[in-house]
Structure 1
Amino acid sequence: MVVVAHPDDAEFGSSGTVAKWTRAGAAITYVVCTDSSKGSNHPTYDPATLIHTRQEEQREAAAVLGVRTVEFLGYPDGELRADEQLVRDLVRLMRRDRPGVVIAQSPARTLRLTLYISHPDHLAAGEATIRAVYPHARTRPSFPDLVAEGLDPHDVSEVWVVGTAEPDTWIDISDTIDVKIAALRAHRSQLGDWDAETFVRRWTRANGRGRGYAHAEVFKTIRL
């Protein structure tokens, strides 16, 4: 399971790894927390149209990666909070799909990396995801109404955090870098004329430097 704040967050952070996993037969669920209604600076943009466009772009990107399930939680863009309702929504999906690994955005702001990584929605999504994993997804008294619906507690084995300045896990995506770039290109409303390929290749090449990888994605891994 991959939990992010906005469409395209997963493609930037972890899509090379996700492509490797789906190739190996893993079933992946994407969870997008916000409605992405503020993802434009055009003076006459229509929020409802943008929401639809960004959802379609996310579905297209997911299909490129082999991800078959995409959930949109629809929280207001730019206003995400790691509150009880968001945690509950994530617990519901974790108990339903029972992932072994959850990829989460970092809940901690870092000034060592670009501020784009520490968007407030990213921090809130990360905090809510980690709270959902532990303690709530695995704890029967948490959200007893979910148990009444047949959603029994589930123990996630690992959380892989993206957007951290202190990674401890490097994944070789040399064989999936082209798929990562193809998935990113689905987000046409956000990329515009920007050359994402040059940026992504430079970034992932820097991640792999010193590890013997042509391209890599990096994570902080938490084992429970």
Structure 2
Amino acid sequence: MSADELLPPFPDDAFERILCVVAHPDDVEYGTSSAVARWTSEGVDVAYLLLTRGEAGMDALSPKETAELRRDEQIAASEVVGVSQVDFLDYPDGILEYSLAMRRDIAMSIRGFRPDAVLVGSWDVEFVAGLNQADHRVAGLAAIDGLRDAGNRWVFPELLAEGLEPWSPRWLLVSGDNRPTHGVDVTGEPLERGIASLEAHGQYLAGIPGHPPPRPMITGITAMQGRRMGVDHAVLFRAFDFHAPPPIAREAMELGGA
């Protein structure tokens, strides 16, 4: 791959605060947490919002026991990469349904945390790992809509009464997208912390037949993605910059002679 084809990093000053919105405990840990480790090491404040507690994820335990175990493992995994704010909502694991209530809860979290960027998983049916899981698709779609709701004072106006003024993040970052635009170099310590964050989900992973060990899996994933940046290990994202005109607008203006 030539230098002109390599994906760029984000600007050094792109982010001060990032909110990651996902469906389940462990969703951030399949590679993305290495990027989180890199960001927090540079002083970026990162928070997690989980829509469920993952209570349907372990056949051998009851949903109540699973929810408690997975909550504890997620908090431990988050601490490994420098994240101390981890909020859990109570939507049902495995049967997430897109709703206005979900959009409102996500918008409320965005207004409260006031991030520069919201990070979500792919909402496409097919993504980099194959066929996407149903909850992941719902979470991604609700998050991108909740992001826009957060900036509109006339959508969910009851949030104003709670002291939550509108807030519009500049960036939307999508992990697992087949069309990445940017990458984060996680070579070295960020990769090690990312691996450790997935290892923190040890009891959950032990219940998945044939699940590969975290170290070779995350090392291999980030090595594959690193090729797109020309580095040893990377995490890739599709980034939408809401301060920039849409590509179609730029092309139309160029064709129009502006």
Aligned to 1:105: 121
Q: Is the 8 A contact 2:31 2:218 kept in 1?
A: no
Q: 1:111 to 1:32 in 2, by over 3 A?
A: closer
Q: In the alignment, is residue 199 of structure 1 matched against residue 217 of structure 2? A: yes
Question: 2: CA distance between counterparts of 1:113 and 1:22?
Answer: 26
TM-score of the two chains, using structure 2 as the length reference:
0.82
1:161 aligns with 2:159: no
Give 5+ residue unaligned stretches, structure 2: 1-18, 243-258
Work out which of the residue numbers 70, 73, 77 in structure 1 matches 2:86.
Answer: 70
State the Cα deviation string for residues 110-169 of structure 1 (Å, max 9, x = none).
166322xx11100000001000112x1000101111011110000110010011111111
Are residues 84 and 188 of structure 1, via their aligned partners in 2, closer, same or farther at CA, if it must alter by over 3 Å? same
Gaps of 5+ in 1: none
Q: What is the alpha-carbon distance in structure 2 between the residues aligned to residue 59 and residue 183 of structure 1?
A: 10
The correspondence of residues 25-44 of structure 1 with structure 2, limited to 5 A, is 25-42=43-60
Q: 1:212 aligns with which of 215, 221, 230?
A: 230
- Give 1:94 shift: 0.3
SS in 2 for 1:34: coil
CA distance in 2: counterparts of 1:62 and 1:40, whole angstroms: 20
* Correspondence for 2:185 among 163, 172, 180: 172
Q: Which of 166, 175, 185 is the equivalent residue of 2:199?
A: 185
Distance 2:128 2:183 in 1: 19
- Cα RMSD of the aligned pairs, angstroms, is 1.3
1:41-120 aligned at under 5 Å gives the runs 41-42=59-60, 45-110=61-126, 113-115=129-131, 118-120=132-134
TM-score, normalised via structure 1 length: 0.94
Q: Distance in 1 between matches of 2:118 and 2:95?
A: 23
Identity %: 34
Partner of residue 130, structure 1? 144
Equivalent in the alignment of 2:7 = none
Q: 1:102, 1:66 → 2: CA distance?
A: 17
Task: Describe the SS at the equivalent of 1:205.
Answer: helix
Question: Which residue is 2:253 aligned to?
Answer: none
Q: Which structure would you say has the larger Rg?
A: 2
Distance in 2, matches of 1:218 and 1:210, equals 8
For 1:13 and 1:87, the matched residues in 2 are separated by 26
- Stretches (4+) displaced over 4 A: none
Deviates more, 1:21-30 or 1:192-201: 192-201
Contact 2:73 2:200 survives alignment (8 Å):
yes
Inter-CA distance 113–185: structure 2 relative to 1 (3 Å threshold): closer
Separation in 1, partners of 2:236, 2:179: 9
Q: Residue type matched to 1:147 in 2? A: L
Q: Report the alpha carbon displacement of residue 24 of structure 1 after superposing the two structures with TM.
A: 1.2
Tell me how far 1:197 sits from its aligned partner: 0.8
Distance of aligned partners of 1:85 and 1:19 in 2 relative to their CA distance in 1, 3 Å threshold: same
